[in-house]
Amino acid sequence: MRDIPVGNGSLLVNFDDKYQIRDIYFPHVGQENHTDGAVSRFGVWCDGSFAWTSDAGWEGDLRYQPETLVTSVKLKNASLGIVIEANDTVASHENIFLRRVRIFDIAGRKRSVRVFLHHDFRLYENKVGDTAYYDPETRSLIHYQKERYFLINTAPHFDSFATGRKDFQGQEGTWRDAEDGEL
């Protein structure tokens, strides 16, 4: 189920009820799903514990800001003692997906928190042939195949990343590497 889509007519990003990206359509909505329905995860490491938003223990409220195509997402994890507030949108005249994430402590103490964004691209709806590299000039990860390029960047800039094979010889993928809080 796709619970909360954001798009502009050329780029459509769909989230499921666990706040995971499930579809990225480009350059035409309904054609070229560059995830092919595969899950792109959102995870948090906090004081030695890790949880993906798909794990048990999250209370979620996914909706839109009033009269906009901007999400208003609130996720609470009592065992981690945090609340995530996020907003997502696709720029109206550019094919740019934007996300703002804020994390609040509800445990009453200073915390060390790390956010992990996982992307399982299947460019051109094909699970093989995707390539990713780190571009030091833009300080971003670039995923590409043929004529499709996806640039991933954050502010502040991410300080670690991992890329690797997925669905290879029974292995799940590099996303599992995040669960110790380090890449």
Residue 167 pLDDT grade (very low, low, confident, very high; cuts 50, 70, 90): low
Residue 172 has pLDDT above 80, yes or no: no
Predicted pLDDT at 4: 94
Please give the biggest Cα pair distance in the chain: 49
User: Which two tokens mark 108?
Assistant: 């009453």
Checking phi first, is residue 147 left (phi over 0); if not, alpha (psi -120 to 50) or beta? alpha
8-22: pLDDT as tens digits: 999 999 999 999 999
The SS3 assignment for 123 reads helix
Is the CA virtual torsion 52, 126, 3, 100 positive or negative?
Answer: positive
95-142: pLDDT as tens digits: 999 999 999 999 999 889 999 999 999 999 987 877 899 999 999 999
Predicted pLDDT at 177: 73
Q: Which string of DSSP letters, residue by residue, matches 38-62? A: --B-EEEEETTEEEETTSTTEEEEE
Predicted pLDDT at 180: 84
The better pLDDT of the pair 168, 25 is held by 25
Residue 162 pLDDT grade (very low, low, confident, very high; cuts 50, 70, 90): confident
Residue 174 has pLDDT above 80, yes or no: no
The better pLDDT of the pair 169, 111 is held by 111
Query: 4-174 is classed in which CATH architecture?
Result: Distorted Sandwich (2.70)
Residue ranges covered by each domain of the chain: 4-174
Residue 144 pLDDT grade (very low, low, confident, very high; cuts 50, 70, 90): very high
Predicted pLDDT at 171: 67
Residue 1 has pLDDT above 70, yes or no: no
Looking at the DSSP bridge assignments, the partners of residue 97 are 90
- Quick one: which of 53, 111, 104 has its CA closest to 82? 104
Residue 151 has pLDDT above 80, yes or no: yes
Helices (H) and strands (E) in the chain, counts: 0, 13
